[in-house]
DNA sequence: ACAGTTTGCTAAATTGATTTAGTAGTTTTA
DNA sequence: TAAAACTACTAAATCAATTTAGCAAACTGT
């Protein structure tokens, strides 16, 4: 006869194992396991026993040890999310949406910020691998091609986003960076600006190259003189604002500027504020990425909005498809989602 | 004689177990385990064998299976971080700093957004518990007192931040909410504003109650008429902006407003923009929480800045102390860190 | 020279699940 | 009525580590 258990308040819930409940009911662990995993019918367990086990499990509040489960099955139901910086509004928003979708499908998220640091990213990939995460969502820095293809060779699904790596074949969700800046620069030209600069972070990531390229093609097409400033990334905003300030001071001939990211944009606005320049009369402004700061600025800043929801949805869909075997691990789908140029006062409405 | 291994490129790294390396070297798993865990000396393993094992392990790139390790030891080296919304700049920044510190100490972070939803939070706590996370950092919604004290009764370290729960005894890091709004409201009064409203989210969390209380005490002290608007939270900003717009339209007598959070503040600014009000001449503004949006706004918005680094450091220090047994699981330290009122144009400099 | 200690190592149990390969007993088929 | 098939279950292996208990051999002291 099974020992008497009480449905304990959670405060004193003892850790029960599958062996405990098998013993209590005088049956084998195997049966309990089959029943709990919904294989009762398939394994021809009688309805009577199923009921007995399920009601008992319910009563004592048994919860399987997921570590043991993962060890045996090799699945951890965890997805690694590696972004440049979780405190950047763009990545934070993406993270939030991915988190929601992942949880809906029974996956947890474990994240890290890479700082675009190749060595750190490699380390992190290793760490996540050690922890047997089931899939990876990565906004990769340069130089991690080998590590990512190694993941794929070992049957671990990977989806990249925000940027891709040229030598790697995998699913990726990106926006049309080149067209976006081409289009934005074109708007400034159309509005009569002649000296348009492009200010961005100094790095060779593909999405940043494309953004620069779009700008360059637009100015070339309009017969304007290109001028690009590349500032080094820093975790201290002042160290980003200062070089932009210097650049703008040194180039008083400029009448418009396109910022390559939200972060550069925000720091750029600080620099412009310090210089006491009037937007858009002294200097027209358009920034990549759209967020609160740009909407609320006076005048509001024209910005290239990434469709964050779409990106997150596409990313998680691609990954879930791989995890569920719908698509192959080696699948190489490149999904390009469209951006939207939110035109506001800062780009000088047809002056 | 041990089989020959090559230091394979990571792309084809086979999963080696501790048994594999023991077999290859013709020794026992026990020795390997002791050596790898730095217990060689303590367990009197000869230097010769230690060298043999370490060099071999190095050569073949063996990495222990952390799941198995966790299963056996009961430690997962993972910390759960539960915040209201990871896409909120305040929580995103905290998350970033906590992530850094945690990684430095060998812990990974797994996070979730609670949306201040009690049921969701309870679920998440259960899930994290199933996954055997070692510690919890929580910005708790109301109603999870029992779950948290259950964690503690089961020897799981918990540190709360941003808000605390009255009936729970545990470490907590908070700011002096009441004083902060009292102080901010006082500044507006000092600057001559007579009709100061307080706009906040409708919820009974302790930190929000304190913020309101600080405002109420300040207006009472100055003999002014209190006016509080509470808007319901929504994931759609328009549904926050609209009621604030309505409130401000309905109370044209107001000459100043204090916003209870960064999010309410940002939406409030949108409402003010729509109303075409001039800050600070038509309406002076101070918001809780400081971030880009407020600094870059024209005029820049006076804001109550939380010392994010300090908060993150205190939180992680408290948790690590518990994890390392330096302090008791049941430790109840309440750490109150000071805020700073960043005075800018929006609060009407002594008009 | 013999007990006692130290050294250097290992067999086997343990963690808590899943899963393979069966085993009795009953029912069906030929 | 014996062989075949099915039903309802289970013993034991497995995942990959840690850890307890203990065993020979070498060394030390008297």
pLDDT digit string (tens) for A115-133? 999 999 999 999 999 899 9
CB-neighbour burial class of residue A226 (10 A; exposed 0-12, middle 13-18, buried 19+): middle
Which tokens go with B57?
A: 């392990």
- The model's pLDDT over A25-51, given as tens digits with 9 standing for 90+, comes to 999 999 999 999 999 999 999 999 999
Average pLDDT over residues A228-256: 96
Sequence-distant (≥ 6) Cβ neighbours of residue A29 within 8 angstroms: A18, A19, A22
What pLDDT, on the 0 to 100 scale, is given for residue A55? Answer: 97
DSSP state string for B2-23? PPP-----GGG-----HHHHHH
Interface contact flag, B64 A146, Cβ < 8 Å: no
Cα–Cα distance between B11 and A121 in angstroms, integer? 16
- The model's pLDDT over B193-251, given as tens digits with 9 standing for 90+, comes to 999 999 999 999 999 999 999 999 999 999 999 999 999 999 999 999 999 999 999 99
The reported pTM is 0.91
What pLDDT, on the 0 to 100 scale, is given for residue B5? Answer: 36
What pLDDT, on the 0 to 100 scale, is given for residue A10? Answer: 42
What pLDDT, on the 0 to 100 scale, is given for residue B177? Answer: 98
Name the residue closest to the C1' of D15 by its CA: A72
Sequence-distant (≥ 6) Cβ neighbours of residue B87 within 8 angstroms: A89, A92, A93, A95, A96, B113
What pLDDT, on the 0 to 100 scale, is given for residue A14? Answer: 60
What pLDDT, on the 0 to 100 scale, is given for residue A329? Answer: 87
Beta carbon of B293 within 7 Å of strand C?
no
Cα–Cα distance between B66 and B185 in angstroms, integer? 53
pLDDT higher than 70, residue A190? yes
Cα–Cα distance between A208 and A201 in angstroms, integer? 8
Average pLDDT over residues B36-59: 95
pLDDT higher than 50, residue B7? no
Residue B325: pLDDT band (50, 70, 90) is confident
How many residues can be counted in chain A?
Answer: 351
Q: Are A79 and A104 in contact (CB under 8 A)?
A: no
In sequence order, which ranges of A131-259 are alpha helices (DSSP H)? Answer: 145-153, 177-190, 206-221, 238-250
Residue in chain B lying closest to A83 (CA): B96
Listed by range, residues with Cβ under 7 angstroms from strand D are A 26-31, 34, 43-46, 48-49, 68, 71-72; B 15-19, 29-30, 33-34, 36-37, 63-65, 67-69, 71-73
What pLDDT, on the 0 to 100 scale, is given for residue B348? Answer: 87
Q: Give CA torsion, residues B91, B94, B95, B99, to 10 deg.
A: 180
Beta carbon of A30 within 7 Å of strand C?
yes
DSSP state of A154: T
Cα–Cα distance between B267 and B245 in angstroms, integer? 9
B 255-284 → A contacts, CB under 8 A: 266, 269-270, 273
Residue A351: pLDDT band (50, 70, 90) is very low
> What whole-number percentage of chain A has pLDDT above 90?
89
What pLDDT, on the 0 to 100 scale, is given for residue A330? Answer: 84
């Amino acid at each position: 006869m099974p020992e008497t258990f009480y449905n304990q308040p959670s405060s004193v819930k003892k850790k029960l194992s599958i062996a405990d409940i098998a013993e209590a009911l005088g049956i084998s662990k195997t049966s309990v396991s089959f029943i709990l995993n919904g294989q009762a019918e398939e394994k021809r367990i009688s309805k009577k026993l199923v009921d007995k086990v399920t009601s008992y499990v319910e009563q004592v509040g048994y919860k399987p040890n997921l570590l043991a489960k993962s060890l045996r099955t090799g699945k951890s139901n965890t997805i690694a999310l590696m972004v440049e910086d979780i405190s950047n509004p763009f990545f934070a928003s993406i993270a939030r949406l991915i988190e929601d979708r992942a949880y809906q499908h029974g996956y947890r998220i474990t994240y890290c910020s890479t700082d675009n640091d190749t060595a750190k990213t490699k380390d992190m990939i290793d760490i996540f691998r050690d922890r047997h995460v089931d899939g990876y969502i990565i906004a990769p820095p340069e130089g991690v091609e080998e590590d990512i293809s190694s993941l794929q060779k070992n049957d671990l699904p990977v989806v990249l986003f925000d940027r891709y790596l040229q030598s790697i074949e995998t699913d990726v969700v990106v926006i049309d960076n080149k067209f976006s800046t081409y289009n934005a620069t074109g708007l400034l030209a159309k509005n009569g600006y002649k000296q348009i600069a492009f200010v961005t972070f100094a790095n060779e990531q593909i999405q940043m190259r494309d953004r620069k390229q779009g700008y360059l093609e637009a100015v070339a097409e309009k017969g304007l003189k290109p001028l690009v400033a590349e500032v080094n990334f820093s975790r201290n905003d002042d160290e980003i604002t200062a070089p932009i300030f210097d650049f703008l001071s040194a180039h008083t001939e400029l009448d418009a500027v396109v910022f390559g990211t939200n972060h550069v944009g925000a720091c750029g606005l600080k620099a412009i504020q310090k210089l006491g320049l009037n937007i858009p009369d002294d200097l027209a402004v358009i920034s990549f990425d759209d967020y609160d700061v740009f909407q609320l600025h006076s005048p509001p800043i024209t910005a290239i909005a990434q469709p964050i929801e779409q990106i997150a949805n596409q990313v998680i869909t691609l990954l879930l498809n791989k995890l569920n075997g719908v698509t192959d691990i080696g699948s190489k789908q490149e999904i390009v989602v469209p951006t939207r140029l939110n035109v506001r006062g800062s780009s000088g409405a047809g002056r």
